[in-house]
Amino acid sequence: MPNSTSPQPSMLSTVSESQPSDSGEGCECATVALYYGDETDGWLSVFFLDTVKGVVTRLLSIVLYCYLEETCYGCNVDHPSQKHHACLWGIPDDFFRDNFGEVRKRLWTDRFIPSIRLFLEANSLSPTDESKLRGVAETFLHELRFIPNIEDTLLQIQKVLTGEDETTPKNRSLEQVVNFWYGNDV
Task: Looking at the structure, tell me whether residues 21 and 66 fall in a common domain.
Answer: no
Q: Which residues pair with 31 in a beta bridge?
A: 16
Domain identity same for 25 and 116 = no
Same domain, 65 and 25: no
Query: Do 163 and 141 fall into the same domain?
Result: yes
Specify whether 51 is located in the same domain as 96: yes
3-state secondary structure of 85: coil
Are residues 61 and 124 part of one domain? yes
Q: How far apart are CA 171 and CA 165, in angstroms?
A: 8
pTM of the full structure: 0.71
Residue 162 near residue 171, CB atoms below 8 Å: yes
Residues 55 and 19 in one domain: no
Where does the pLDDT of residue 40 fall: very low under 50, low under 70, confident under 90, or very high at 90 and above? very low
Task: Please check whether residues 46 and 29 belong to one and the same domain.
Answer: no
d(CA 101, CA 65): 15
Verify that 26 and 60 share a domain, yes or no: no
Q: Lowest-confidence range among 3-12, 52-61, 158-167?
A: 3-12
Same domain, 68 and 14: no
Give every CB contact of residue 75 below 8 A, 6+ residues apart in sequence. Answer: 69, 85, 87
Q: Are residues 24 and 74 in the same domain?
A: no
pLDDT over 90, % of the chain: 38
Q: How far is CA 11 from the centre of its chain?
A: 25
Q: Are residues 100 and 164 in the same domain?
A: yes
Q: What is the residue range of 164's domain?
A: 42-182
The pLDDT tens digits of the residues spanning 90-139 come to 888 899 999 999 999 999 999 999 999 999 998 888 767 888 899 999 99
Q: What is the domain count for the chain?
A: 2
